[in-house]
Chains A and B, each alone.
Chain A
Amino acid sequence: MRSSVMMVVAIVQGIFFALLLLLIFVNRARQSYRAQRAAAAANRVAEPLQRWLLGIGTAADLANVLRRLPEREALDQLTIHVAPKAAPEHLAQLARALREDRWVRRILAQSTSRWWWRRLDAARLLAVVGSLRDRTLLRQLLADSHAAVQAAASTCLTRVADYALVEHVLDTLHTRPPIVRVFQLRILRENWKHTVPALLERLVPIAPMAKLQVWIALAESVADARCLAPLIAFSNHPVVEMRISAARAIRRYVHPDAQTVLRDMMRDGDWRVRAQAARGLGAVGAADAVTELSLALGDRSWWVRFRSALALAQLGEAGRRALRIARERPDRFVADMASMVCGLSDGAVVELAEA
């Protein structure tokens, strides 16, 4: 009885083993076929793409070629090869030519699929063919449960963003995973015409903390002069995280007001604020802050000493001289930090200061 059961198990295993071997070889053949198909698709797209980019051909010619390709190849060609090469106005023409194609509608309809990679395909395609009328679909994809779909949908914002959509993105930015936030920050920065007014409305100390932190990060990335005043207002915020974010953001603003506020922040009670302020003084090239930074070399926090030494090294000869003097100071912590930073090349200092 047991032998016969074993025999059955052995036979089933044998069949399964043979099937797996077969699958490996079939998969190899399939991969090779797909590679050939992709190469053929690239060849077919290359000429109309070239002509279209040079202004000889039309978007309709290119759309015709894409229409005749298998769906997967068409999507890959469009999103990987065509879209990055085309200027926005060119892409708008192509989007119009493609929009009513069956394969495009079929892929966009996958935006409600239960499989995230299908929704991802829809988001990738929408980033190329999307227009203002797709705002509802875009909002739905931006609210997707998978970060990859949200990130792909975010790229569509460059094409369809209006003030209302920018506001929506700003208000949900703090809930996004880091990868999506990076995408959206970049796109918001590119859309600065809508972004800055919407941001200025929101950069007020009474706003919720979680939102404020990402908005301050956005103000850092936008670096628009209009944002400096609201940022300076956060330098006295009662919550330390706000002051840290503000100090970090202000370092992007090369302006006398930025230098003044950063020098004030060097006296903050929290070492993290002082460290960021020191970093900021180096970044904005605050040559007048050599005295404050030299004093900060004796700070009780390692990070403040480190950032101050790096900042001094970024301030040209005056800062370097201060470091050389500090090397001889009796305070071992001051002398050690000055010695360490004195040995670094200018490039290494910048690299460390930005890290």
Chain B
Amino acid sequence: MIAMLLQWADRLALAYMLALNSFYALLLLLSIPELWSHWHLAEDEHLTLVLGTEALPPLSILVPAHNEEMTIVESVVSLLTLQYPHHEVVLVNDGSTDATMTRLVEAYDLYEVPPAFMISIASKPVRAYYRSRRYSKLLVIDKENGGKADALNAALNAARFPYVLAVDADTLIEPDALLRLARPFLLGKPVAAVGGTIRVANSCIIAHGRVVEARVDKRMLPAVQVVEYLRAFLFGRLGWNRLGGNLIISGAFGLFKRAHLLAMRGYRTGSVTEDMDLVVRLQRYLREHKLSDTTSFIPDPVAWTEVPASVRVLGRQRERWQRGLLETLWVHRDLLFNFRYGAVGLIAYPFFLFGEALSPLIEVLGYIGIALGVALGAVDLNFVWLFLSVAVLYGMLLSVWAILLEEVSFRRYTRPIDVLRLLFTTVIEGFGYRQLTLFFRLKAFWRMLRGDRRWGVMQREGFASTTAAETRKAA
């Protein structure tokens, strides 16, 4: 009886792996024409020439900041000096307990202005609004701490322009990223949201808030995440573009139509991952109101972020992501196989539920089943080895494919040593890192069941200040 059960579990695991991997293969195939098309557009100098014109919609950059005294001044300068004809920066000091606000007032010659804004979404009390005497594009909101979503809601109220771009204060945006992000508008497509690529900034050469040379960290943990990000962005999200069910636009770099966000009452403050929750709600909103606006991902606008370099911080991050995913899927459970929501209900939601959210449980059950099967002699050991080899090799294939896509298209990593490092990480990812993240994701189930809603502190190392010599060398 037990042997039969184990055999069934074994078949189930095989079928699950086959279905999931086939879907990844489909995403991979769909990503190719998307990437090809964007690469051609990005390369076309005619488009580049007119990017800085009145054809672009004015947009407000929303920047929530909490205890960012070390980097805030440089971050704001880099946002104010982005190449874009009409943009403003709405920075929210979300109850920082350090000198964030003082530094802003000093650096930008801020003066208090009356609250001449229409408050459409409730947020924690605002202490004061400030404008800069030097930069008309800058508006600073000083408010009581209410979390990222609450800060974004306050910024959303004060934003003047029809499109808003939510970015993290510690995200480094490439100078032309906004222009590239606006490509769908230039091509005349109705747009509800657009997401760009997030890349790993650890160990990159950075000068004046800009990444001047992309590098792969020598340490394994950040290096593995470079490949993870490439995989997620270069074929995962591009593939979803074709399927029409993009459910993730990174909260660190995503452009949204402000009117839609206001109609949806902004960000949901109780959410653990407010960005995914927002996109799922946006997809619902668009379909419920029969709007043809699209949400899409574009690969060439790039923002750089620091990823966890220690196991402890990585654990907090991955556990929070998994909790956020579970929570969002639970809140929107009525989407599952719901014809009313088209590709979102029929493809995206089931994939995120079975292929992403529940995968740690299925994977760990698979490990237990295999171990028991081998112990009881119900499963052939040779088959187990082959099965594991195929699973690991498939993961490596996807990673190498992502690296190849990067290499034939945008080629940010110019040094051969970085490519070799990336290739090396694809080999070791399946042995240790995958199991580690599996553990953190399983922990999320436990904390979710306990009703734990804490965010966890994301300790950052900070972007290493690059010396003048290094910068020159990189240039």
Interface residues of A (CB under 8 A from B): 2-3, 6-7, 9-10, 13-14, 16-17, 20-21, 23-24, 27-28, 31, 79-80, 116-117, 120, 124, 147-148, 151-152, 155, 176-179, 181-183, 302, 305-306, 332-333, 335-337, 339-340, 343-345, 347-349, 351-352, 355
Contacts and interface: CB of A to CB of B under 8 A. Distances in A.
A13 B390 contact: yes
Interface string B262-305: 00000000000000000000000000000000000000000000
Interface stretch (B120-128, B352-360, B391-399): B391-399
Nearest to B117: A302
Given A20-B400, A345-B134, 14 more contacts: A2-B383, A3-B380, A3-B383, A17-B400, A24-B419, A27-B408, A80-B45, A124-B46, A148-B44, A179-B186, A182-B50, A335-B114, A340-B116, A348-B134
Interface stretch (B53-61, B62-70, B332-340, B445-453): B53-61
Contacts of A124: 46
B158 to A, nearest CB: 11
30 contacts: A2-B383, A6-B390, A9-B390, A10-B393, A16-B397, A17-B393, A17-B400, A20-B400, A24-B407, A24-B419, A27-B407, A28-B419, A116-B40, A148-B41, A148-B47, A155-B46, A178-B188, A179-B47, A179-B186, A179-B187, A332-B114, A335-B114, A336-B114, A336-B116, A337-B116, A343-B131, A343-B133, A348-B135, A352-B136, A355-B58
Interface in B389-431: 389-390, 393-394, 396-397, 400-401, 403-404, 407-408, 411, 416, 419, 423
B55 A182 contact: yes
B44 to A, nearest CB: 5
B404 A23 contact: yes
A345 B389 CA distance: 66
A355 B86 contact: yes
A219 to B, nearest CB: 14
Contact of A13 (B40, B50, B387, B394): B394
B114 A339 contact: yes
Contact of B401 (A7, A20, A332, A335): A20
Nearest to A306: B116
Contact of A20 (B46, B382, B404): B404
A354 B197 CA distance: 31
A6 B114 contact: no
| Size category, B interface | 35 or more
Nearest to A350: B136
What are the 5 closest A-B residue pairs judged by CB atoms, nearest first? A177-B188, A348-B136, A336-B114, A179-B186, A178-B55
For chain A, what secondary structure do more than half of its interface residues adopt (helix, strand, loop), or is it mixed? helix
Contacts of A3: 380, 382-383, 386
Contact of B393 (A14, A23, A182, A340): A14
Contact of A336 (B115, B390, B423): B115
Interface of B: 40-41, 44-47, 50, 53-55, 58, 86, 88, 111, 113-118, 131-137, 185-188, 380, 382-383, 386-387, 389-390, 393-394, 396-397, 400-401, 403-404, 407-408, 411, 416, 419, 423
A351 B133 CA distance: 12
Contacts of A17: 393, 396-397, 400
A148 B40 CA distance: 10
B289 to A, nearest CB: 23
A124 B187 CA distance: 18
Of A17, A27, A332, most buried by chain B (CB within 10 Å of CB) is A17
B245 to A, nearest CB: 25
Contacts of B408: 27
B79 to A, nearest CB: 15
Contact of A117 (B40, B117, B134): B40
A340 B390 contact: no
A179 B45 CA distance: 13
Contacts of B58: 355
Nearest to A155: B46
A24 B423 CA distance: 10
Nearest to B382: A3
B187 A13 contact: no
Contacts of B396: 17
B137 to A, nearest CB: 7
A140 B395 CA distance: 47
A21 to B, nearest CB: 7
Nearest to B387: A6
Contacts of A335: 114
A301 B403 CA distance: 53
Contacts of A20: 397, 400-401, 404
